[in-house]
């Protein structure tokens, strides 16, 4: 019974982290770079099936850039973790990351000031004047997919990085960053729909503060649940 309970707990932690990771990637849209990738990577001209078809390679190269970013960042962090943390007990990893999630959840709600190391830069807007659309999509996808080359609003990124590092496994690290990057890339698909850039930007701005609250809620929920599963 005890072994079954532990297995169920580990499975629960796994799925909870997957949801948190994907949601974190999606929530990263509420940042200057998220705005940029949505507004700058748009079909040219008036919306039509033709303009969307011509724009589709841009979306595909953008997704490819995210994939390359996950491969490079995840591979590097996974290799570092394998060299430094391969003997770390699983409970230590879960406990430490749970406390970190609670700390950053409090940070998002304004109750606590946590370190927030970020390169406060956006994707280069002038690139759209120097390259074709599909090349811009690739460059933006790579820059955003590396996650630390541009500003990312959600501290869920740090939990993802911690799991990638402490898992001490290269494939696991690549996988978690790939899931995070899927969440980052998906909002660009809104450009397949006949929705104006102004409407999208206004909607993002209107929900900016609520997105931060959701971010904090998810971090506190995940941290509390992980600690509870660890104790049981």
**pLDDT tens digits for range 112-137:** 999 998 888 887 777 667 888 889 89
State the DSSP string of the chain: -HHHHHHHHHHHHHHHHHHHHHHHHHHTTSSHHHHHHHHHS--SSS-SHHHHHHHHHHHHHHHHHHHHHHHHHHHHHHHHHHHHSTT--HHHHHHHHHHHHHHHHHHHHTS-------------GGGGGTS-HHHHHHHHHHHHHTSSSS----THHHHHHHHHHHTT-HHHHHHHHHHHHHHHHGGGGGGGSS--HHHHHHHHHHTHHHHHHHHHHHHHHHHHHHHHHHH-
Lowest mean pLDDT among 28-32, 109-113, 209-213: 28-32
Taking residues 207-220, what's their average pLDDT? 91
**pLDDT value for 205:** 80
Q: Is the pLDDT of residue 208 over 60?
A: yes
pLDDT the model gives residue 41: 84
Instruction: Pick the more confident residue, 94 or 230.
Output: 94
Q: Using pLDDT thresholds of 50, 70 and 90, give the confidence band for residue 216.
A: very high
* Residue 32 confidence (pLDDT): 62
Q: Which pLDDT belongs to residue 4?
A: 55
**Residue 6's pLDDT is what?**
60
The pLDDT tens digits of the residues spanning 33-54 come to 676 677 778 888 888 899 999 9
Q: What is the pLDDT of residues 165-178, one digit of tens each?
A: 999 999 999 999 99
pLDDT tens, position by position, 53-88: 999 999 999 999 999 999 999 999 999 999 999 888
pTM for the whole thing? Answer: 0.91
Mean predicted lDDT score pLDDT of the chain: 88
pLDDT reported for residue 2? 42
């Amino acid at each position: 019974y005890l072994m079954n309970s532990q297995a169920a707990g580990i499975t629960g932690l796994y799925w909870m982290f997957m949801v948190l990771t994907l949601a974190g990637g999606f929530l990263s849209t509420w940042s200057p770079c998220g705005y940029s990738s949505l507004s700058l990577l748009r079909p040219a001209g008036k919306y039509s099936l033709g303009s969307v078809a011509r724009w589709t390679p841009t979306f595909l190269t953008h997704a490819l850039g995210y994939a390359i970013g996950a491969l490079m960042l995840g591979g590097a962090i996974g290799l570092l973790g394998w060299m430094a943390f391969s003997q770390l007990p699983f409970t230590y990893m879960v406990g430490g990351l749970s406390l970190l999630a609670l700390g950053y959840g409090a940070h998002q709600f304004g109750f606590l000031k946590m370190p927030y190391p970020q390169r406060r830069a956006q994707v280069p807007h002038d690139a759209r004047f120097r390259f074709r659309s599909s090349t811009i999509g690739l460059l933006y996808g790579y820059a955003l997919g590396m996650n630390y080359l541009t500003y990312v609003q959600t501290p869920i990124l740090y939990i993802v990085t911690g799991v990638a590092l402490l898992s001490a496994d290269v494939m696991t690290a690549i996988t978690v960053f790939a899931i995070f990057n899927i969440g980052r890339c998906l909002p660009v698909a809104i450009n397949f729909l006949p929705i104006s850039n102004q409407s999208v930007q206004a909607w993002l701005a209107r929900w900016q503060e609520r997105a931060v609250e959701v971010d904090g809620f998810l971090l506190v929920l995940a941290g509390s649940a992980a600690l509870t599963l660890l104790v049981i």
